Amino acid sequence: MEKTWNNKAWFMVLPVLLLVAFSAVIPLMTVVNYSVQDTFGNNVFFWNGSDWYTEILGSDRFWLSMVRNLIFSAIILVIEIPLGIFIALNMPKKGWGVPVCLVLMALPLLIPWNVVGTIWQVFGRIDIGLLGYTLSALGIDYNYVNDPTDAWVTVILMDVWHWTSLVVLLCYAGLVSIPDAYYQAAKIDGASRWAIFRYIQLPKMNRVLLIAVLLRFMDSFMIYTEPFVVTGGGPGNSTTFMSIDLVKIAVGQFDLGPAAAMSIIYFLIVLLLSWVFYTVMTTVDAEG
């Protein structure tokens, strides 16, 4: 087919380009600006080249927080995706149970991040928290303030509580879109419960699962508010994730240059990993 060139089309996309420029590109460029210069205030800048990048990439602190992030995201995905699928499979498909379940599932998603953090911060306290107090009363040595493992368990539980619903709702949407005829045919074909899941439900959930994995990965990789409220990154640095570290550098120490360089690296990592996930999952989808 002959391609038609019409330069007027550029005018049509101009408003969107401007909007994106103001909302994303320009703020991003100011960060780039900080990351290659040094300043001592008064709007005086000195060209610094790639120094901040070298400093960040050469620091153990950066790599340690990144490893924490990767481990955290991995655990989150391993728990939330299967759990979400499992809950979605067991939710009612019709009747009064549907709205009840949907509302219950949506509740955690409606709570602001810092409130979720506060809820769990109180919930886990051994002096007044329901969870912490009960565990202590049962003789289990649980204290998220002192013990790094307990802190991790608390932060992960909190994230599972907060975000599994998202996976559930996405999977549920995928499941209810499967026509009845598929289940009827499966009965006729004598398929087992597992075969129905493997060959009908899972393939039909493929696309929504891709979205669920991407969203949960990006979100958990950028997690900030909840662990900040609960543990403040501690004990020690055990729950200091990249975003928490970033804020410490930028706001705590007011090292704008290194913080900007770290932001750019952080952004590129999220972008790269999301792209990898997307490519891998869509390729599997096309073959599978």
Partner 1 sequence: MARIDVNHIRHSYLPNPQKDADFALKEVHHTFEDGGAYALLGPSGCGKTTLLNIISGLLHPSHGQLLFNGKDVTRLSTQERNIAQVFQFPVIYDTMTVYDNLAFPLRNRGVPEADVDRKVRETLDMIDLAELAKKKARGLTADQKQKISLGRGLVRSDVNAILFDEPLTVIDPHMKWVLRSQLKQLHRRFGYTMVYVTHDQTEALTFADRVVVMYDGEIVQIGTPAELFERPRHTFVGYFIGSPGMNVMPVAIDGKTATIGSQRIELPGVPKTVTGNTGAGAIELGIRPEYVRLGRDGMAVKISKVEDVGRHKVVRANLEGREIAAVIGEDEDVPADPKVRFDPVGINIYADSWRVEMGA
Task: Kindly list the residues in this chain that would bind partner 1 in the complex (CB under 8 A).
Answer: 179, 181-182, 184-185, 187-192, 195, 199-200, 203, 288
Give the shortest CB-77-to-partner 1 separation in angstroms.
22
Beta carbons of 161 and 76 less than 8 angstroms apart: no
Beta carbons of 148 and 71 less than 8 angstroms apart: no
Q: Which two tokens stand for residue 174?
A: 């995928």
Give the shortest CB-199-to-partner 1 separation in angstroms.
5
- Cβ nearer to partner 1, comparing 70 with 178: 178
Give the shortest CB-184-to-partner 1 separation in angstroms.
5
User: If 0-12 CB within 10 Å is exposed, 13-18 middle and 19+ buried, where does residue 240 land?
Assistant: buried
Category of 254 on φ-ψ map: left (φ > 0), alpha (ψ -120 to 50) or beta: left
- Cβ nearer to partner 1, comparing 110 with 181: 181
CA distance 143 to 145: 5
Give the shortest CB-204-to-partner 1 separation in angstroms.
8
Pairing mode, strands 45-47 and 37-39:
antiparallel
Give the shortest CB-209-to-partner 1 separation in angstroms.
13
- Cβ nearer to partner 1, comparing 141 with 189: 189
Give the shortest CB-200-to-partner 1 separation in angstroms.
7
3-state secondary structure of 178: coil
CA distance 223 to 212: 16
- Cβ nearer to partner 1, comparing 165 with 201: 201
Give the shortest CB-288-to-partner 1 separation in angstroms.
5
Beta carbons of 63 and 140 less than 8 angstroms apart: no
Beta carbons of 162 and 116 less than 8 angstroms apart: yes
- Cβ nearer to partner 1, comparing 41 with 288: 288
- Cβ nearer to partner 1, comparing 5 with 194: 194
- Cβ nearer to partner 1, comparing 17 with 195: 195
CA distance 61 to 64: 5
**Nearest partner of 168 among 197, 196, 205, 193, judged by Cα:** 205
